[in-house]
Amino acid sequence: MPLAVEAPELDTAVAALIDAMREYAADWQDHLHAAVDHRGNADFVQFVELSSDEQLREWLTAAGG
């Protein structure tokens, strides 16, 4: 999935990535769902659409362990 951001600080990068995720989900609903290389991303799109920005922020910054 083509998501990438550049930012000088982590908080700014996370906010930009959340925006990119939301934009991808909207584009997926609009037209990408029909593209062969994007069809398998339905679960990701649903996750993004059902999550608040705060939930996405927590998911992106959670430490594994």
Which pLDDT belongs to residue 1?
75
- The Cα–Cα gap between 65 and 19 comes to 27
What does the pLDDT look like over 19-56, one tens digit per residue? 999 999 999 999 999 999 999 999 999 999 999 999 99
Sign (positive/negative) of CA torsion 51, 54, 60, 64? negative
pTM over 0.85: yes
